[in-house]
Every structure is written in C-alpha cells, then in structure tokens.
Amino acid sequence: MKYYLIAGEASGDMHSANLMKELKKSDPNADFRFWGGDLMKKEGGELVKHYRELAFMGFTEVVMNLRTILRNIEFCKKDLLENRPDALILIDYPGFNLRIAEFAKQNGIQVFYYISPQVWAWKQSRVHKIKRIVDKMYVILPFEKDFYKKFDYEVEFVGHPLLDEIENIKANSLSKEKFLSAYQLDDKPIIALLPGSRRQEISVMLPLMLSVADDFPEYQFVIAAAPSIPADFLTAITGSKKVAIVTGQTYTLLTHATAALVTSGTATLETALFEVPEVVCYKGGFISYAIARMLIKVNYISLVNLIMDNEVVKELIQNQLTSSNLKTELNAILRDAESRAKMRAAFVQLKEKLGGKGASAKVAGLIFRELSV
C-alpha cells in the first residue's frame, strides 16, 4: 500500500520513522512518500521536504514566513493528488497538518492522525473540525481520550512512543566512561542543557541557562544540540564559557546527566522519563506570549505537570525565568536530597500513567487493519 506521512519537526521524524518500521512488518509492500527528516529517510521511500524547511515557531515568526508556509501547503496538496496514497498519516504539527487533512478528506484520501494536536490546551473548537476530517485519531497522552470523549469523538490511546525509544537507548547507549571520553568531558557530574531545536528559541534560552554555570563549578554544563543546528551558531552564543556541545545525542546525554535545564516542549517529558531532575524554562516574544496567555486553557506548560496534574517540576515562565530563580531551583534539585527524591518518585508514577510499551506497533497494526477492511 502507499503511505504518505507528514512530520514537521525532529520529534515527529523519530516517531514517524518508528511507525514506518512497524508498518513494514505488517505490510512488506509498503511504499512511503513523506515530509520529515533523516530518520524517516533511513526507513526508505521518497523524502519530499525536510522538516528544516518547515519549522517556524511563535506567532511573529509564522506571520513573517506566511508566504513560505502557504506555498508549502499548496505544494503538498498538489503532491498528494499526483501520488494519491492509500493513507495519509499525519504526525502532530497541527497548523500545517489539519489543513492538509481537510484537503485529503475532500479528495477521498483516508486520513489517520498519530499524536494529537494539543487542542486540549487551546483552540478546543478545532475538535469539531478534527471529527469531520480525521478518520482515525491515535493519542499518546492518557487524558486525551477523556478529553475527546466530551466531544463525542472516540479516539485510540496507544501509549507513549517515548517509552520504547528510551528503553532502546538505555540498552544500547555508551557507558558513562566511553561517553565522557568520546566528547572529551571530565568526570564532574553533568548538568544537561536542552535549549530547544529552533534558532529563535535557542538564542533566547541558552544565554539564560548558561548564566548560572559559574555558580556550580563542581558540575559540568553540556548542551544537547539538535542535528539541524550548526555548531558555530551555538559557539557564538557560548562565547568564552567552558561548556561542551553534544550534537544529536540528547538521549545518551540524559542517560548520564545528574540534572537538566529544559526548554518547554516534548523534551520536558523525555527528561522525566530518563528520571533526570529538571527545571522547565520558557521565554517567548512579548506578542507571542501575550497571545498565548489569552488562548491557552491549561494550568501548566510542561507535559510532565499536565499528565500528573500537579507541579512535579518547577516551571520558570517569561518574567520568572531569571538567573536568580534558575540558580535557586537548580540548587534545590542538586543539593536538596528530599526534593530530588520526591521528583524522581513522581517520574516513576508518570511512566505508569503513560501506559505500556509498543505504541508504534499498535498504531501500525490499527492502520493496516483499517486499510485491509
């Protein structure tokens, strides 16, 4: 069968690649065409556009690049009609994917959505559109099934794909000794810095994270760099500060980290699943943040706190994200044994809430069965 997948960022590339791998087990004749990244490319098929060309963050950046975004949407619609897949599989990335879903539905292409848009956080009215244009929705957060049920829309909770990915990484990652040697690190405990995967957010978040490095001389600060970010962009920000950069090895870094400073997003959940105590950081442009404040309907910005419905990890947002507050919170998770133990115990409960392993295999099986009817 012919599958057309669209992932618009690094995490989507990873989850899509795992889904493609599982689809090939169910369907040995699977033919893939996709928007995504290098991990999907390794699974075979035709890469139409790389997610590096698609990643625009925040209201202001989207407006500035609106012409490019609209061109990409029109190109995708044309490409879909020319290639007419048996299934369109959309992975998160709602601003783009919901428009493509509507077009595909109008043109008789079956639409599957894996990893729901965060409609529970804002724009809840989009659920009505999703019901109309998405044939099957597969969700990865436990509270999403109940959320959609309020709108009389049955979705499948398949568990979180990160559970599988992280287990694989832990089983196959470098030992700490080899990791330190490979990246010329010393034997001090590691504080991982996860500043994001887009230049715009990195340029804001990384200087703030680095501002506390001198306050913790007994630790080494190591930056987890996304593969799409050039090293010279990061070194221009780090300047003379003694800080290591590890590219494309975030999970290996977290395997050996003692604590982490993390830009809000999926990385907050990834860090928790490695049971690394963390401080969640977010600071956006004034206009983007003001709009978000008006629209967002949840109590927390980190997935960890949302899933647990409690402030398990400290969130330093906008004006709260200062060097002084960062120092205080990092000090608590490093040097306060009770705070550290409490957070790690909550991370164990978090894993239990996320369901069992095998999300990608479940989704692949469900999609293949739907298409085989």
What is the pairing mode between strands 136-139 and 156-157? parallel
Give the number of other Cβ atoms within 10 Å of residue 182's Cβ: 12
Residue carrying structure tokens 């295999």: 361
DSSP of 81-150: HHH--SEEEEES-HHHHHHHHHHHHHTT-EEEEES---TTTS-TTHHHHHHHH-SEEEE-SHHHHHHHHT
- In the 8-state DSSP scheme, what is residue 25? H
- Tens of pLDDT, residue by residue over 238-279, are 988 889 999 989 999 999 999 999 998 889 999 999 999 999
What is the structure's pLDDT at 64?
Answer: 58
What is the structure's pLDDT at 294?
Answer: 46
Nearest residue to 359 via CA among 93, 162, 94: 162
CB burial class (10 A; 0-12, 13-18, 19+) of residue 82?
Answer: exposed
Q: Which two tokens stand for residue 226?
A: 């996304």
Burial state string for 237-260 with b = 16 or more CB within 10 A and e = fewer than 16: bbeeeebbebbebbbbbbbbbbbb
What is the structure's pLDDT at 118?
Answer: 86
pLDDT lower than 70: segments of the chain: 54-66, 285-298
Give the number of other Cβ atoms within 10 Å of residue 365's Cβ: 16
Residue type present at position 164 = D
Residue carrying structure tokens 């069965």: 369
Tell me how far apart the alpha carbons of residues 364 and 21 are, in angstroms, rounded to a whole number: 9
**200 pairs with which residues across the strands?**
none
- In the 8-state DSSP scheme, what is residue 175? P
Nearest residue to 132 via CA among 147, 152, 114: 152
What is the structure's pLDDT at 298?
Answer: 58
Helical residues (DSSP H) of the chain, grouped into ranges: 10-26, 38-42, 58-64, 66-83, 94-106, 126-133, 142-149, 162-172, 176-182, 199-210, 231-238, 250-256, 266-273, 286-295, 303-308, 323-335, 337-353, 359-372
Q: Which residue segments constitute the domains of the chain, with CATH numbers given? A: 2-160+358-372 (3.40.50.2000), 165-353 (3.40.50.2000)
Q: CB-based contacts of 40: which residues, under 8 Å, 6+ apart?
A: 5, 7, 13, 16, 17, 20, 32, 34, 47
On whether the CB atoms of residues 273 and 350 are closer than 8 A, the answer is yes
Nearest residue to 33 via CA among 51, 6, 60: 6
**278 pairs with which residues across the strands?**
260
- Tens of pLDDT, residue by residue over 30-67, are 999 999 999 999 999 999 999 877 655 555 555 556 67
What is the structure's pLDDT at 7?
Answer: 96
On whether the CB atoms of residues 198 and 58 are closer than 8 A, the answer is no
Tell me how far apart the alpha carbons of residues 148 and 139 are, in angstroms, rounded to a whole number: 10
